[in-house]
Each structure stands twice: as C-alpha cells, then as structure tokens.
Structure 1
Amino acid sequence: MRSSDAAQSAERLRYDGVLVQHFRESGLTGPRWDQFHRQLLGYGLAIVTKLVRSGAMFSRCGRHGRYLQQQAISPQEAEELASDAVFEGFIYFCDRGLLGKQWSVEHGQPLAEYFVNACVLAFPNVYRRWQTRMSGWRNVDLLDSFASLEQVVTEGTPEEAVVEQQAADAAFQALSEDSRKLLILHEQGYSHAEIAELTRLTPRAVEGRIRRARLAARQRSDEDR
C-alpha cells in the first residue's frame, strides 16, 4: 500500500473511531446518528444487492465458513433478500459492533466494511428462511387474478373492463411468486404479524414487501393499459 493510501486509511479509521465513541455515548440517538444510519443503510443495501444478484454473496459467505446451496434468484427476490440481510445485519452491527464494542480502531477495519460484513453474516439465515418459504409456498393456491385483490372496478364499457382485467392479470403474474403469496395472505385477512409468523419474516419486512408488491403491480398494470 502506498504511503498516501495508508495515511488515508489511518485517517478514516481515526474518524470512524471518533464517530463510534460519540454514538456509544449518545446511546445511538440524536440527529447525527439518524443521518449516519440512513446513509449506512442506503450504502449497505446497494452493496449487498449487487453481491446477491451477482452470486458473489455465496462465495463471501463461504469465506466465513457459511456454505450455502446457490439457487436461481430473480432480481426482485435478490432485492428482497438483500433488504432483509441489511436489516438483520444492521441489528448485529448496532448490538455487537457498536454497543457490544466488538468494533474498534485497533482491528483496522473501516466502519462501512464492518457493516457490510455484518450483512454477509446475516445473509445465510435470511437465505435459508427464503428457501423454506419457497418450498412451503407450494401448499398455497394462487388466485387466478390480481383483480380480486386490488383492482378498482371501472365504470366504462365492457370492452374497457376487459382491458382492465387483462392488465390486472398481467400485473399480478409479473410479480414474483413470493410477492403474490404475500398479497394473497393479506387479502385473506391475515395481519402483518400473522403473515410474518407464517413466512418467517419480521412484521416490518412483511409490510415493506406488500407495499413494494402493490406498487410494482400498479406500475405494471398502468404500463399494460
């Protein structure tokens, strides 16, 4: 490493150390913490999503002794897996790295890099839950139409209604199977907490996925009209 690079790395570690000390003293609260954790989550999500989509996440996990059987993952499912891994990695990062004082300047690892590694360590459990859900979904019947879930009935002609129905069907089928199941359970009256228990997600993750699925379906439906 060149001397200039070494100096920059040392300065970054020093800054990280000051920042962490402030966060520990404040109990992870305050405007500075709010800004930092939003930026960190955004950074982590971008990195982890790329790792999952490229398949590099599996080799990263293997280097940590956590070997996984890689399956084909759609782009939307990759984003959802990354989101869950970042959420759980952030908990690990806060509880152990910051409050538990496992991170320190002496270890020589930048704070952002430590966070990404925390997300990598969280990924195996997230991935195994996803595999279990994908297997369990086979026992849930899909609805034939997205219209029964969320379609707004038009007051136009029968021909317009057919177009609306076709657009709704296409929008529903364009969603990942996992997203369609969540919408079905939600429409059947299950609460976020109940769906979380069935799918082994957190209620917050369920809420976010349902919101993204509805948005994706609406956008696809609008494009197909």
Structure 2
Amino acid sequence: MGSSDSALAADRLRMDGVLVQHFRESGLSGPRWDQFHRQLLGHGLAIVTKLVRSGAMFSRCGRHGRYLHQQDITRQEAEELASDAVFEGFVYFRDRGLLGKEWSVERGQPLKEYFVNACVLAFPNVYRRWQRHAHGWQDVRLVDSLASLENVVTEGTPEDAVIEQAAANAAFAALSEDNRRLLFLHDQGYSHAEIGELLRLSPRAVEGRIRRARLAVRRPPDEER
C-alpha cells in the first residue's frame, strides 16, 4: 500500500471513529443511524451472498477456525443463508462492536470490514441450523467426518476412493443415531462441552463415545461379531 493509500485508509478510519462515537452517544437511534443501518445491511448482504454462492464463505470460516462440511446449496438457499448470517452478524456488530466497544479506531479495521467479519463469524451457526433442518443427520458423509477428525489423507485411484466411500457410508449407516449425531457435530466444529449440552451428556462421556464410534466404523468386517 502506497503512502496515499495509507493516508486515505487512515482518514476513513478516523471518519468511522467519529461516526461510531456519534452513534454511541445517541444510543443507536435517530435518522442518521437509521440510514447507516440500512446501508450497512445492504452492503453486508451483497458481499455475504457472493461469499456463500461462490463457496468462499467456507474457506473464510476455516481461517477463523470454524470448519464446515460444505454441501450443495441452491441459489435460493444461498440467499436465505446469507440473509440470516447478515441479521445475526448485525446483532454481533451492534451489541459487541458498537455498544460493547469492541470496535475501535486503534484496532485498524474499517467499520464495514468489521461488520462483514461479524457476518462470517455468525455463518457457522446459521449453516448448522440449515443442515439440521434441511438434511438431518442421515445425509452426512462419514468419510468426510473421519478425514476432518483425524486429518487423514489417503492416496489412491478414483476407484479406491469410491470403494472407501461406500464402505464408510455403510459403516456410518450401521451406527446408532446418537453416534451419528456425535460424529456429525464433532465434524462441524462443536466442542465436547457444546455437544454434551445438545445431547445431555458430560464432556467426558462425549469424548468416550466419539472414540468408540470411530473405532466401530474402522473395525474390519472380520472383527465384527
């Protein structure tokens, strides 16, 4: 970035700082806030929709440590996911960024960029809800879950991959509903504590069940009884 670009970025940050100070003093109310609110939502929706449609949203989430199992999404579903992420991202932006004073000029992040990042952080929960509602647990591909859980990288021919996929799916289908949920939630980035809250188990019980489920699907057929 050249000196003129740096100066322009610094000016924009200062303007953002003045704007935020005004909004905080006015309690996020008044015509100026209403106009800013509408413009910000429109800006965020345009960007987030493009991120979801292109699939770039998933890599963005991964850079924040929130890894998601990407499934095929229709154009309408992408728009709905983006809309929900922008809504929840705005709540984060308003409550933590503005009222909670998490955003500041000193952090060096433009206000609109901070808002888009808030939408990215909101996306994993929005996407997980969509998965549970639209697809349920049975559509999860176990081979993806295991690769994510253990960082397994296999090398082989496409035929080998097809055989491995079929075997993994068959093993997954043989698991109990609870164990399928455990592997799915773990693959989606939920912690043991979060999974425990959802399934009413202790974190230690969750850890043990995940370990046993993984062993079960990797047990060779001749070991089954």
TM range (shorter): 0.5 to 0.7
Aligned to 1:131: 131
CA distance in structure 1 between the aligned counterparts of 2:99 and 2:29, rounded to whole angstroms: 12
Q: What does the per-residue CA deviation read over 1:131-190, in whole Å, with 9 as the maximum and x for residues that have no partner?
A: 00012599xxxxxxxxxxxxxxxxxxxxxxxxxxxxxxxxxxxxxxxxxxxxxxxxxxxx
Whichever residue aligns with residue 2 of structure 2, its letter is R
Unaligned segments of structure 1, at least 5 residues: 139-225
Task: Give, as a single letter, the amino acid of the residue that structure 2 aligns with 1:124.
Answer: P
TM-score under structure 2 normalisation?
0.60
Structure 1 Cα separation of the partners of residues 110 and 72 of structure 2? 32
Task: Tell me what 2:70 maps to.
Answer: 70
Partners in 2 of 1:107 and 1:98 — Cα distance?
13
Q: C-alpha separation between the residues in 2 aligned to 1:134 and 1:41?
A: 26
Quote the residue 1:48 is aligned against. Answer: 48
The residue type paired with residue 61 of structure 2 is C
1:21-170 equivalence runs, <5 A = 21-136=21-136
Shift >6 Å, 4+ stretches: none
1:61-94 Cα offsets, whole Å, 9 max, x none, are 0000000000000010000000000000000000
Identity of aligned residues (%): 84
**RMSD (CA atoms):** 1.3
Distance across 2 between alignment mates of 1:33 and 1:53: 30
**Equivalents in 2 of 1:27, 1:86: separation in Å?**
21
Q: Secondary structure at the match of 2:112?
A: helix
Count of matched residue pairs: 138
Match of 1:155 in 2: none
Q: What's the counterpart of residue 171 of structure 1? A: none
- Following superposition, the deviation at residue 10 of structure 1 comes to 0.2
Say which SS state the counterpart of residue 87 (structure 1) adopts: helix
